[in-house]
Amino acid sequence: MKIEIFNQDGELVDTIAGSKHRGLNRAGWGMRVKPPAVAPAASALFEAAQGPRVLPGTYTVKLTKGDQVYTEQLKVVLDPRAKYSLEERKAQFALSMKVYKLLEHMTYGVDAIEGVRTRPKPGRKAAEKDPLRKQLERLAADCDALRSKIVATKEGGMITGEERIRELLGQLYSAVTGYDGKPTDYQVARTESLGHELEDVIVDFQKLAQKELRQ
């Protein structure tokens, strides 16, 4: 049993786990996009544990059971008590997804850094004074330094208060997705600023990898 939610453009928005119990079952959808992929670090990023709330519109619910497929239309509307307009809601969703994509871009960047840091290793017979060993150790140290600019590396990060781009993006993401109305000018500017900071680190890593890996 599989339940999928598609938007008006036919894009998969979310997947809901179906029950394995026989008979009548209930499955709930929180009207949200899937949570963003988040790079692991010394502390969990609870602020990014859920995806942004979807925009008002018509969604398709697709239930698949074996070779049987059932679909139904589902209309999502604004809360009639809301004090913001549809346009303001769209602005909030757009910024939410922009920060969402920054979080995922960051995650892929950290994965790449980890891959370079841990994979190239000298053979077991390589002597301690082997130039290759020293080069690889230096490369690993440089990757560690770049990674530490993106994610908190100290254990107990919530206690130590260590904050890097990952933690700051998480705070921003939580603030933007926490209110469905128009985002503030500060939130818009902060998104641009953190995006530039992240890109600078990733560019530095790409330069490092291109130079050192060839050697």
For the chain, domain boundaries: 2-76, 86-214
Residue in the block written with tokens 């990952």: 166
In the block, residue with structure tokens 């994965």 = 111
Q: What is the pLDDT of residues 99-120, one digit of tens each?
A: 999 999 999 999 999 888 776 5
58 three-class SS: strand
Number of Cβ atoms within 10 Å of the Cβ of 103: 23
Phi and psi at residue 117, to the nearest 5°: -65, -35
Contact 153, 166 (CB under 8 A): no
How is the beta sheet containing 68-76 ordered, strand by strand? 12-17, 2-6, 57-65, 68-76
Q: What is the pLDDT of residues 75-96, one digit of tens each?
A: 999 999 999 999 999 999 999 9
Token readout for 42 is 């010394």
Q: What is the pLDDT along the chain (215 residues), one digit of tens a residue?
A: 889 999 999 999 999 987 778 888 888 999 999 999 998 887 888 999 999 999 999 999 999 988 999 999 999 999 999 999 999 999 999 999 999 999 999 999 999 998 887 765 655 555 666 777 788 888 888 988 999 999 887 655 444 567 899 999 999 999 999 999 999 999 999 999 999 999 999 999 999 888 877 77
Q: Which pair of tokens denotes residue 27?
A: 């499955």
Contact present, 192 and 172 (Cβ < 8 Å):
no
Would strands 12-17 and 2-6 be described as parallel, antiparallel, or unpaired? antiparallel
Q: Which residues pair with 59 in a beta bridge?
A: 74
